[in-house]
Amino acid sequence: MAILLSFLTFVSTFLGGLVGLKYRDKLHLILGFTAGVLLGVVAFDIFPEMIELLGKTQTQTVIAMGALVAGFLIFHILEKLLIIHHAQEEEYGQHRHPSVGILSALALSGHSFLDGVGIGLGFQVSPTVGIIVAIAVISHDFSDGLNTVSLMLAHKNTSGRAKKLLFVDAIAPLLGASSTLFFSVPDKLLVLYLGFFAGFLLYIGAADILPEAHAQHSSRWTILMTILGVILIFLITRAF
């Protein structure tokens, strides 16, 4: 059952990516929406999961927040070491590099893999829990596919390369669910991962995607799309 439902995440992710490719001329609006989605995922999906896993243990909370800071700083450092951006803010949108898009897409694929792990582990708890987790993952994986393509195109990757990374992201949940037949993940390690990934999402959303979205096509519509992205994830997480 877990494998079957994780296959639906493949379909959902791929459809989201195809939408991003088809409407690439509206990329600034897609990027604005993507930034809102990432912010919503951190605020309404990842943080609540972390809080639930942590309980009231202050030491573990500090460690999890340390993982968040590490995720933010590591991606920032990697980006600067690749000399992707010039210091001048006005030239920000002129110096995109495919490597950053690939790195971002692979990181999102890693998250998608753990989405699949979440489905598999949910079914280890009970069929009901597994189905609830699967529905939530399928719902937001459409945005994952959209995010992957948006990041690739924003960093001057070709459509063909974007499709390849989209496939990697789409199949990752299926592989993740399958892997849970062989192992389980302790809650302490899962919290560290969630913190690290939250930091990564905050960085690429606030320091990467939003500046790119507003670089040449800043408008009220772009801002509105960001707000809609946040609202969408809020509604999805409240529904499931």
188-206 pLDDT, tens per residue?
A: 777 787 788 788 778 878 8
Under a CB-based contact definition with an 8 Å cutoff, are residues 100 and 85 in contact?
no
Which amino acid is located at 59 in the chain? T
The residues spanned by each domain of the chain are 2-87+95-239
- % of residues, the chain, pLDDT over 90: 5
Q: What is the pLDDT of residue 193?
A: 76
Q: Which pair of structure tokens corresponds to residue 94?
A: 């002129």
3-state helix, strand, coil in the chain (%, to 5): 85, 0, 15
| Whole-model pTM over 0.85 | no
Under a CB-based contact definition with an 8 Å cutoff, are residues 180 and 2 in contact?
yes
Question: Which of 10-24, 129-143, 162-176, 221-235 is least confident?
Answer: 129-143
First and final CA of the chain: distance in angstroms? Answer: 19
**CA 183 → CA 7, 41, 177, distances in Å?**
20, 26, 11
**Mean pLDDT across 136-145:** 73
